[in-house]
Amino acid sequence: MLKSTLTPIFSTFPAKPSYPKLLTRAISCTLTPTPPTAQQNASPNIFTTPQLPPTSAYIHLPFCRKRCHYCDFPIVALGSSSTQTYGDGDDDDPRMSNYVQLLCREINATKVNFKSHPPLETVFFGGGTPSLVPPRLVSSVLDLLREKFGVSSDAEISMEMDPGTFDAKKMEELKALGVNRVSLGVQAFQDELLKACGRAHGVNEVYEAIEIVNSCGVENWSLDLISSLPHQSPQMWERSLRLTVEAQPKHVSVYDLQVEQGTKFGTLYKPGEFPLPSDVQSADFYSMASATLSDAGYNHYEISSYCQDGFECKHNFTYWKNKPFYGFGLGAASYVCGMRFSRPKKMRGYIDFVQNLENGTMDYTGNSKIDTRDLATDVVMLSLRTATGLDLKSFQGTFGSSVVCSLCEAYKPFVESGHVLCLNEQRRVLAADEYNTLLLNEGVIGKGLAYIRLSDPDGFLLSNELISVAFGVVAP
């Protein structure tokens, strides 16, 4: 599941990932959508795709051995002695088998209101700890997805996996099912930090998991880290980053801990107070990660995401590009036909939801009027999370030149401070004086001025405030 409780910025703005929390409230706004040009109709972009059929699916498998102290996700704790760790034996835990049956019922009852439906290009198993689920149950989900929607032969099929929950046999079985990308929840390379977080694995299991992934020939794998943990020192963080680079994953996700109400950490700690680091120390951790991973050849392509060339997470790009997606399972969110919908986070509520879906009394996939104001705020938030930034020409083509000009004016002081970067069509960064001169000329958008993005790391660190500035323009 998208690490919405782990954010690389230091206030309450949402972070991944496997789905982002988006603004969908009603907002007073004077935006007027511009009819798409013939070129836009021929080549849909992130502003014109909400009504297209989804080509991505998020599957929530909520099972964990125990709840981590920072976790507020919808999970089912099986207990540390769960016999499902490596999937041995013929008998599945009934909690898992019953849930997967319910999940498949939801998928099967989902209406497909499109004349044609291209096959899924990405599937993401999040949790929870999906690697606890026996491969035969994973197979039943994938088989149904292929039957219901089709799955492309070269689809990216990702699974979140925790150290200590799989062996080489299980990894090979998952590969045979089509799983070709692994997101490994390491979080730290210090036993004392893992124990303090309530993680069920230790450092030895981290090294064993990395060895299994590599020995099984999984090239496309990601390593997850958490910074700003209780009692975490700069030396500890530097070591975790160094060992991550030495492990040579193709992708790295770095999340800054956010203390959530209702969690054990929420009871024990207050953000910014010892033993948690201060905001300044957290910012230093973020800057250290950016510098270390960039120096090691990783591209910082999204606020919390780094990758080697060509190994961006295709599934997460569905979110950053504001494309529609299916979500199935406990607490999962979907974005279909311009409508964002989250399932109940409690099992009883989810059971009722599936029953209503089967009975025809619930339909979240029907056509709904797309609110231009909501779409604009979503696009701004998602685009500015990425290194690509906001495509001003496309934004202007959909929402009008007035709002783009106002946005560029609002960002002038941040361009001068270096927190916001403005680029031309060749993605050359414009100097502040050059930017100010261009703003005096009409028709500059898409020619001299093509993109706005946040700088790395300083702009990303202030992304809450900078995106709020944009919201003040787009939705005053």
The rounded percent of the chain whose pLDDT value lies above 90 is: 74
Q: How much is the pLDDT for 114?
A: 85
Residues 202-257 pLDDT 10s: 999 999 999 999 999 999 999 999 999 999 999 999 999 999 999 999 999 999 99
Res 10 pLDDT > 70: no
The rounded percent of the chain whose pLDDT value lies above 70 is: 85
Better-predicted residue by pLDDT, 343 or 81: 343
Instruction: Give domain limits for the chain.
Output: 56-80+92-321, 372-474
Residues 74-117 pLDDT 10s: 999 998 655 455 555 557 899 999 999 999 999 999 988 888 89
Better-predicted residue by pLDDT, 47 or 471: 471
Q: How much is the pLDDT for 372?
A: 81
Going from the C-alpha of 275 to that of each of 10, 200, 237, 264, 281, the distances in angstroms are: 17, 21, 15, 14, 12
Residues 201-212 pLDDT 10s: 999 999 999 999
Are 164 and 186 contacting, i.e. CB atoms less than 8 angstroms apart? no
Residues with Cβ within 8 Å of residue 44, at least 6 apart in sequence: 52
Residues 321-335 pLDDT 10s: 999 999 999 999 999
Q: How much is the pLDDT for 368?
A: 58
Question: Domain 56-80+92-321 sits in which CATH superfamily?
Answer: Aldolase class I (3.20.20.70)
> Using 50, 70 and 90 to split pLDDT, how confident is the model at 375?
confident
> Using 50, 70 and 90 to split pLDDT, how confident is the model at 440?
confident
Q: How much is the pLDDT for 39?
A: 28
Residues 59-85 pLDDT 10s: 999 999 999 999 999 999 998 655 455
Q: How much is the pLDDT for 461?
A: 96
Please tell me whether the overall predicted TM-score, pTM, comes out greater than 0.85 for this model: yes
Q: How much is the pLDDT for 366?
A: 54
Q: Was domain 372-474 assigned CATH 3.40.50?
A: no
Res 38 pLDDT > 60: no
Res 50 pLDDT > 70: no
Asked if 56-80+92-321 and 372-474 have one fold, the answer is no
Residues 12-32 pLDDT 10s: 222 333 333 332 222 222 333
